[in-house]
Structure 1
Protein backbone atom coordinates (compact mmCIF):
# COMPACT_ATOMS: atom_id res chain seq x y z
CA UNK A 1 0.00 0.00 0.00
CA UNK A 2 1.33 3.45 -0.89
CA UNK A 3 1.42 6.32 1.56
CA UNK A 4 -1.22 8.99 1.05
CA UNK A 5 0.34 12.30 0.01
CA UNK A 6 -1.74 15.46 -0.25
CA UNK A 7 -0.69 18.98 -1.19
CA UNK A 8 -2.00 22.44 -0.59
CA UNK A 9 -1.18 25.99 -1.61
CA UNK A 10 -2.43 29.49 -1.02
CA UNK A 11 -4.19 31.51 -3.71
CA UNK A 12 -1.03 33.30 -4.91
CA UNK A 13 1.22 30.24 -4.58
CA UNK A 14 3.69 31.80 -2.13
CA UNK A 15 2.94 29.11 0.49
CA UNK A 16 2.75 25.41 -0.36
CA UNK A 17 2.71 22.29 1.78
CA UNK A 18 2.82 18.52 1.61
CA UNK A 19 0.96 16.20 3.98
CA UNK A 20 1.88 12.55 4.41
CA UNK A 21 -0.45 9.91 5.75
CA UNK A 22 -4.10 9.88 6.68
CA UNK A 23 -5.77 12.84 8.37
CA UNK A 24 -6.75 12.21 11.99
CA UNK A 25 -10.12 13.93 11.54
CA UNK A 26 -12.17 16.03 9.11
CA UNK A 27 -15.01 18.16 10.43
CA UNK A 28 -17.40 20.96 9.49
CA UNK A 29 -16.92 23.81 11.95
CA UNK A 30 -19.72 26.25 12.84
CA UNK A 31 -17.72 28.05 15.59
CA UNK A 32 -18.10 31.84 15.54
CA UNK A 33 -14.37 32.55 16.10
CA UNK A 34 -13.43 30.43 13.08
CA UNK A 35 -16.25 32.00 11.05
CA UNK A 36 -14.85 35.46 11.75
CA UNK A 37 -11.22 34.45 11.17
CA UNK A 38 -11.95 32.61 7.90
CA UNK A 39 -14.58 35.06 6.64
CA UNK A 40 -17.05 32.32 5.80
CA UNK A 41 -20.27 31.00 7.39
CA UNK A 42 -18.44 27.75 8.20
CA UNK A 43 -15.38 25.84 7.19
CA UNK A 44 -14.08 22.30 7.01
CA UNK A 45 -10.98 21.59 9.07
CA UNK A 46 -8.65 18.74 8.23
CA UNK A 47 -6.63 17.57 11.21
CA UNK A 48 -3.18 16.05 10.90
CA UNK A 49 -0.42 15.30 13.36
CA UNK A 50 2.13 18.12 13.21
CA UNK A 51 4.85 15.76 11.98
CA UNK A 52 2.75 14.93 8.89
CA UNK A 53 3.00 18.52 7.58
CA UNK A 54 5.95 19.97 5.70
CA UNK A 55 5.93 23.40 4.07
CA UNK A 56 7.57 23.10 0.67
CA UNK A 57 7.43 26.79 -0.24
CA UNK A 58 7.25 29.89 1.92
CA UNK A 59 6.49 30.42 5.58
CA UNK A 60 3.00 31.31 6.75
CA UNK A 61 2.40 34.37 8.89
CA UNK A 62 0.71 33.67 12.21
CA UNK A 63 -1.76 35.56 14.37
CA UNK A 64 -3.38 34.88 17.73
CA UNK A 65 -6.41 36.56 19.24
CA UNK A 66 -7.85 33.58 21.12
CA UNK A 67 -5.70 32.22 23.95
CA UNK A 68 -4.03 28.99 22.85
CA UNK A 69 -4.96 29.33 19.17
CA UNK A 70 -2.39 30.36 16.55
CA UNK A 71 -3.85 30.87 13.08
CA UNK A 72 -1.71 30.83 9.94
CA UNK A 73 -2.24 32.55 6.61
CA UNK A 74 -0.40 33.85 3.57
CA UNK A 75 0.89 37.36 4.20
CA UNK A 76 0.70 38.12 0.47
CA UNK A 77 -2.80 36.96 -0.57
CA UNK A 78 -4.49 36.38 2.80
CA UNK A 79 -5.43 32.73 2.24
CA UNK A 80 -6.28 30.99 5.51
CA UNK A 81 -3.96 28.03 5.92
CA UNK A 82 -4.81 26.58 9.30
CA UNK A 83 -4.37 26.75 13.03
CA UNK A 84 -2.64 25.10 15.95
CA UNK A 85 -4.39 24.74 19.29
CA UNK A 86 -2.32 24.52 22.47
CA UNK A 87 -5.19 22.46 23.88
CA UNK A 88 -4.49 19.86 21.17
CA UNK A 89 -0.69 19.56 21.21
CA UNK A 90 0.99 17.82 18.31
CA UNK A 91 -1.87 18.55 15.89
CA UNK A 92 -2.30 21.00 13.03
CA UNK A 93 -5.66 21.80 11.45
CA UNK A 94 -5.77 22.91 7.84
CA UNK A 95 -8.54 24.83 6.13
CA UNK A 96 -10.08 22.87 3.27
CA UNK A 97 -9.67 25.90 0.99
CA UNK A 98 -5.89 25.53 1.25
CA UNK A 99 -5.94 21.99 -0.11
CA UNK A 100 -5.28 21.25 -3.79
CA UNK A 101 -7.89 18.46 -3.84
CA UNK A 102 -10.62 19.36 -1.32
CA UNK A 103 -12.88 16.69 -2.78
CA UNK A 104 -10.69 14.07 -1.09
CA UNK A 105 -11.68 15.22 2.40
CA UNK A 106 -15.30 14.37 3.15
CA UNK A 107 -16.28 15.66 6.61
CA UNK A 108 -17.08 13.17 9.37
CA UNK A 109 -19.16 15.40 11.68
CA UNK A 110 -20.35 18.93 12.46
CA UNK A 111 -18.69 20.67 15.42
CA UNK A 112 -20.29 23.53 17.38
CA UNK A 113 -23.67 22.77 15.82
CA UNK A 114 -25.53 25.14 18.22
CA UNK A 115 -23.45 28.04 16.79
CA UNK A 116 -24.55 27.28 13.20
CA UNK A 117 -26.06 30.27 11.42
CA UNK A 118 -29.83 29.79 11.22
CA UNK A 119 -29.94 30.04 7.41
CA UNK A 120 -27.26 27.38 6.86
CA UNK A 121 -29.02 24.15 5.88
CA UNK A 122 -27.20 20.84 5.94
CA UNK A 123 -28.99 17.82 4.45
CA UNK A 124 -26.41 15.24 5.52
CA UNK A 125 -26.81 12.74 8.35
CA UNK A 126 -23.42 13.37 9.98
CA UNK A 127 -23.22 13.67 13.78
CA UNK A 128 -24.05 17.16 15.07
CA UNK A 129 -21.82 17.91 18.06
CA UNK A 130 -22.46 20.62 20.65
CA UNK A 131 -18.74 21.40 20.89
CA UNK A 132 -15.51 20.39 19.23
CA UNK A 133 -15.02 16.90 17.92
CA UNK A 134 -11.54 16.81 19.49
CA UNK A 135 -10.94 16.44 23.21
CA UNK A 136 -8.91 19.52 24.14
CA UNK A 137 -7.46 20.87 27.36
CA UNK A 138 -10.21 22.69 29.30
CA UNK A 139 -7.77 25.42 30.40
CA UNK A 140 -8.09 27.01 26.95
CA UNK A 141 -11.86 27.48 27.09
CA UNK A 142 -14.64 26.38 24.81
CA UNK A 143 -16.00 28.51 21.94
CA UNK A 144 -19.54 27.38 22.77
CA UNK A 145 -19.39 29.18 26.15
CA UNK A 146 -17.86 32.52 25.18
CA UNK A 147 -18.81 35.39 22.93
CA UNK A 148 -16.82 36.30 19.83
CA UNK A 149 -15.36 39.76 20.36
Structure 2
Protein backbone atom coordinates (compact mmCIF):
# COMPACT_ATOMS: atom_id res chain seq x y z
CA UNK A 1 0.00 0.00 0.00
CA UNK A 2 1.34 3.42 -0.97
CA UNK A 3 1.32 6.00 1.81
CA UNK A 4 -0.48 9.29 1.30
CA UNK A 5 0.54 12.50 3.07
CA UNK A 6 -1.55 15.65 2.93
CA UNK A 7 -0.90 19.34 3.13
CA UNK A 8 -2.81 22.58 3.01
CA UNK A 9 -2.20 26.30 3.26
CA UNK A 10 -3.12 28.38 6.32
CA UNK A 11 -6.56 29.36 5.01
CA UNK A 12 -7.27 25.92 3.49
CA UNK A 13 -7.77 27.15 -0.09
CA UNK A 14 -4.86 25.13 -1.54
CA UNK A 15 -4.68 21.43 -0.69
CA UNK A 16 -2.54 18.57 -1.90
CA UNK A 17 -1.92 14.86 -1.46
CA UNK A 18 1.53 13.34 -1.86
CA UNK A 19 1.76 9.64 -2.64
CA UNK A 20 4.71 7.45 -1.74
CA UNK A 21 7.90 8.40 -0.01
CA UNK A 22 9.75 11.65 -0.62
CA UNK A 23 13.15 11.16 -2.25
CA UNK A 24 14.90 13.89 -0.21
CA UNK A 25 14.34 16.02 2.90
CA UNK A 26 16.76 18.79 3.76
CA UNK A 27 17.27 21.87 5.94
CA UNK A 28 17.98 24.93 3.77
CA UNK A 29 19.82 28.02 4.97
CA UNK A 30 20.24 30.02 1.74
CA UNK A 31 19.09 33.62 1.64
CA UNK A 32 16.77 33.22 -1.39
CA UNK A 33 14.68 30.68 0.50
CA UNK A 34 14.96 32.65 3.74
CA UNK A 35 13.34 35.67 2.05
CA UNK A 36 10.73 33.62 0.17
CA UNK A 37 9.67 31.72 3.30
CA UNK A 38 10.11 34.54 5.81
CA UNK A 39 12.00 32.31 8.21
CA UNK A 40 15.68 31.91 9.21
CA UNK A 41 15.67 28.53 7.44
CA UNK A 42 13.26 25.95 6.15
CA UNK A 43 12.99 22.25 5.49
CA UNK A 44 12.21 21.18 1.93
CA UNK A 45 10.56 17.83 1.19
CA UNK A 46 11.36 16.50 -2.28
CA UNK A 47 8.71 14.68 -4.29
CA UNK A 48 8.42 13.86 -7.98
CA UNK A 49 5.71 15.98 -9.65
CA UNK A 50 3.70 12.85 -10.46
CA UNK A 51 3.51 12.10 -6.70
CA UNK A 52 1.58 15.37 -6.12
CA UNK A 53 -2.18 15.71 -6.55
CA UNK A 54 -3.56 19.22 -6.07
CA UNK A 55 -7.11 20.14 -5.03
CA UNK A 56 -8.88 23.34 -4.12
CA UNK A 57 -7.49 26.61 -5.44
CA UNK A 58 -4.52 26.57 -7.78
CA UNK A 59 -1.33 27.88 -6.18
CA UNK A 60 -0.04 31.20 -7.48
CA UNK A 61 3.42 31.04 -9.04
CA UNK A 62 6.26 33.54 -8.91
CA UNK A 63 9.85 33.61 -10.13
CA UNK A 64 12.61 36.00 -9.13
CA UNK A 65 15.52 33.58 -9.27
CA UNK A 66 16.49 32.25 -12.70
CA UNK A 67 15.21 28.70 -13.15
CA UNK A 68 13.24 28.63 -9.86
CA UNK A 69 9.45 28.95 -9.72
CA UNK A 70 7.93 29.27 -6.26
CA UNK A 71 4.29 28.58 -5.42
CA UNK A 72 2.13 30.04 -2.68
CA UNK A 73 -1.51 30.57 -1.76
CA UNK A 74 -2.85 33.77 -3.33
CA UNK A 75 -5.31 34.16 -0.44
CA UNK A 76 -3.20 33.72 2.71
CA UNK A 77 0.36 33.80 1.35
CA UNK A 78 1.45 30.39 2.65
CA UNK A 79 4.61 29.20 0.92
CA UNK A 80 3.87 25.87 -0.72
CA UNK A 81 6.98 24.86 -2.61
CA UNK A 82 9.18 25.34 -5.63
CA UNK A 83 10.38 23.72 -8.82
CA UNK A 84 13.81 24.31 -10.30
CA UNK A 85 14.88 23.87 -13.94
CA UNK A 86 18.27 22.81 -12.61
CA UNK A 87 16.64 19.91 -10.75
CA UNK A 88 14.32 18.40 -13.37
CA UNK A 89 11.46 16.13 -12.27
CA UNK A 90 11.72 17.36 -8.66
CA UNK A 91 9.21 19.41 -6.65
CA UNK A 92 10.07 20.65 -3.18
CA UNK A 93 7.30 21.22 -0.63
CA UNK A 94 7.78 23.46 2.38
CA UNK A 95 7.45 21.50 5.61
CA UNK A 96 5.08 24.20 6.89
CA UNK A 97 2.55 23.19 4.21
CA UNK A 98 2.36 19.60 5.45
CA UNK A 99 -0.37 18.38 7.81
CA UNK A 100 2.06 16.13 9.72
CA UNK A 101 5.48 17.85 9.55
CA UNK A 102 6.86 15.59 12.28
CA UNK A 103 6.95 12.74 9.74
CA UNK A 104 9.72 14.38 7.70
CA UNK A 105 13.08 14.33 9.48
CA UNK A 106 15.80 16.07 7.42
CA UNK A 107 18.72 14.14 5.97
CA UNK A 108 21.21 17.03 5.59
CA UNK A 109 21.87 20.75 6.03
CA UNK A 110 22.16 22.68 2.73
CA UNK A 111 23.89 26.04 2.35
CA UNK A 112 25.36 25.59 5.80
CA UNK A 113 27.84 28.45 5.29
CA UNK A 114 24.92 30.85 4.69
CA UNK A 115 23.17 30.05 7.98
CA UNK A 116 22.54 32.94 10.31
CA UNK A 117 25.25 33.19 12.98
CA UNK A 118 22.83 32.42 15.82
CA UNK A 119 21.68 29.14 14.23
CA UNK A 120 23.46 26.43 16.22
CA UNK A 121 22.47 22.85 15.49
CA UNK A 122 23.98 19.70 16.91
CA UNK A 123 22.04 17.16 14.86
CA UNK A 124 24.96 15.24 13.33
CA UNK A 125 23.59 15.70 9.81
CA UNK A 126 25.93 16.26 6.87
CA UNK A 127 26.64 19.94 6.19
CA UNK A 128 26.75 20.97 2.54
CA UNK A 129 28.00 24.42 1.52
CA UNK A 130 25.74 24.59 -1.53
CA UNK A 131 22.89 22.65 -3.05
CA UNK A 132 22.46 19.24 -1.49
CA UNK A 133 21.36 17.80 -4.87
CA UNK A 134 23.26 17.82 -8.14
CA UNK A 135 21.96 20.89 -9.98
CA UNK A 136 22.70 22.40 -13.38
CA UNK A 137 25.47 24.91 -12.54
CA UNK A 138 24.60 27.06 -15.58
CA UNK A 139 21.56 28.37 -13.67
CA UNK A 140 23.71 29.95 -10.96
CA UNK A 141 23.94 29.72 -7.24
CA UNK A 142 22.24 31.80 -4.49
CA UNK A 143 25.55 33.05 -3.13
CA UNK A 144 26.40 34.46 -6.59
CA UNK A 145 23.20 36.46 -7.06
> Normalised by the size of structure 2, how large is the TM-score?
0.98
- Counterpart of 1:45 in structure 2 is 44
SS in 1 for 2:66: coil
Shift of 1:138: 1.0
Query: How many residue pairs end up in the alignment?
Result: 145
Matching of residue 59 in structure 1 with residue 65 in structure 2: no
* Aligned mates of 1:88, 1:24 — CA distance in 2: 13
* Aligned mates of 1:119, 1:39 — CA distance in 2: 16
Matching of residue 78 in structure 1 with residue 74 in structure 2: no
SS in 2 for 1:56: strand
- Counterpart of 2:33 in structure 1 is 34
Alignment of 1:13-32 (within 5 A): 13-32=12-31
Matching of residue 128 in structure 1 with residue 137 in structure 2: no
* Aligned mates of 2:38, 2:61 — CA distance in 1: 16
Shift of 1:89: 1.0
Q: Deviations over 1:79-128 (max 9, x none)?
A: 00000001011110000000000000000000000000000111210000
> Normalised by the size of structure 1, how large is the TM-score?
0.95
* Aligned mates of 2:27, 2:133 — CA distance in 1: 12
Q: Deviations over 1:45-74 (max 9, x none)?
A: 000011100102210000000000000000
Task: Give ranges in structure 1 of 5+ residues lacking alignment.
Answer: none
Task: Give ranges in structure 2 of 5+ residues lacking alignment.
Answer: none
Runs of 4+ in 1 over 4 A off after TM superposition: none
